Amino acid sequence: MLHKKLLPASIAAVVLLGAASAQAEIGANVTLATDYTFRGISQTGERGAIQGGFDWAGETGLYAGIWGSNINFGGDASTEMDYYGGFAGETGGGLGYDIGFIYYDYENEPEFDYLEFALGLSYADFSVGVNYSDEFGDGGPTYIYYSAGYSMSLSEQFSVGFNIGYTDTDQDDFWEDGADTYMDYGITLGYSAYELDFALAFIGTDLDDVDAADDRVVFSISKSF
Please write the tens of the pLDDT for every residue from 46-105. 999 999 999 999 999 999 999 999 999 878 889 999 999 999 999 999 999 999 999 999
- pLDDT (tens digit, 9 = 90+) per residue, 144-159? 999 999 999 999 999 9
* pLDDT on residue 176: 63
* pLDDT on residue 41: 93
More confident residue, 204 or 139: 204
Is the domain spanning 4-224 CATH 2.40.160.40? The answer is yes
**Per-residue confidence band for 203, with pLDDT thresholds at 50, 70 and 90:** very high
* pLDDT on residue 5: 46
User: HEC profile for the chain?
Assistant: CCCHHHCCCCCCCCCCCCECCCCEEEEEEEEEECCCEECCEECCCCCCEEEEEEEEEECCCEEEEEEEEECCCCCCCCEEEEEEEEEEEECCCCEEEEEEEEEEEECCCHHHCEEEEEEEEEECCEEEEEEEECCCCCCCCCEEEEEEEEEEECCCCEEEEEEEEEEEECCCCCCCCCCCEEEEEEEEEEEEECCEEEEEEEEEECCCCCHHHCCEEEEEEEEEC
Give residue limits of the domains in the chain.
4-224
Q: Is the pLDDT of residue 178 over 60?
A: yes
Instruction: Kindly report the pTM of this predicted structure.
Output: 0.85
- pLDDT (tens digit, 9 = 90+) per residue, 121-132? 999 999 999 999
